[in-house]
């Protein structure tokens, strides 16, 4: 298995990067959709249905597969010999940030269900503030991996 992972390292790394980009795009866009949804859309209208459809499709067709692919290819990189040294700080910082990003993903999924049920209580301002969470986590991840601090 070690030889397989080492032989496919560059492909795995490229697929991991593509998956992360797709996932991040969704993590940035879905909270923005929630801002517009809560601030400009009246419950039970055709526009409400349209926003719910866009939010559902973004989450299910793009974000969920990208999350899974990110984890699969990321774990493959972790298990590739010579790539990660767990005696250093950077992989732990990255792992914590990825877990935080995954939590945020699931939090967004719960908020989407609130919109579906007509039970959203959060404001556009709240969603705007939460939209900064993936940015902070992204910075931790990128600086951890590139600088290996």
Q: What are 29-68's pLDDT values in tens digits?
A: 999 999 999 999 999 999 999 999 999 999 999 999 999 9
Kindly report the number of other CB atoms within 10 A of residue 116's CB atom: 13
Query: What backbone torsions phi and psi does residue 84 show, to the nearest 5 degrees?
Result: -120, 130
Task: Enumerate residues 6+ apart whose C-beta is below 8 A from 132.
Answer: none
Q: What is the pLDDT of residue 1?
A: 65
Pick from 54, 57, 58: nearest CA to 23:
58
**SS3 of 71, please?**
helix
Rounded Cα distance, 46 and 62, in Å = 23
Are the CB atoms for 41 and 48 separated by under 8 Å?
yes
Q: What is the pTM of this model?
A: 0.93
**CA distance to 6, 11, 76, per residue, from 80 (Å):** 6, 12, 6
Q: What is the pLDDT of residue 149?
A: 81
**CA distance to 13, 43, 88, 136, per residue, from 71 (Å):** 12, 36, 21, 19
pLDDT beneath 50: ranges in the chain: none
Q: Residue holding tokens 């972790």?
A: 78
Rounded Cα distance, 74 and 78, in Å = 6
Kindly report the number of other CB atoms within 10 A of residue 4's CB atom: 10
Q: What is the pLDDT of residue 123?
A: 97
């Amino acid at each position: 298995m070690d030889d397989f992972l080492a032989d496919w390292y560059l492909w795995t790394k490229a697929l991991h990067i593509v998956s992360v980009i797709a996932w991040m795009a969704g993590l940035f866009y879905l909270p923005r959709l929630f801002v517009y949804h809560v601030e400009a859309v009246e419950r039970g209208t055709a526009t409400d249905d349209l926003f719910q459809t866009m939010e559902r499709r973004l989450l299910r067709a793009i974000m969920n597969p990208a999350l899974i692919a990110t984890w699969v290819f990321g774990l493959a990189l972790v298990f590739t010999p010579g790539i990660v040294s767990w005696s250093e700080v950077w992989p732990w910082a990255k792992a914590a940030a990825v877990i935080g990003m995954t939590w945020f993903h699931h939090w967004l999924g719960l908020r989407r269900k609130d919109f579906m049920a007509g039970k959203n209580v959060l404001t556009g301002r709240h969603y705007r503030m939460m939209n900064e969470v993936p940015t902070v986590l992204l910075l931790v991840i990128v600086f951890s991996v590139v600088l290996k601090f």
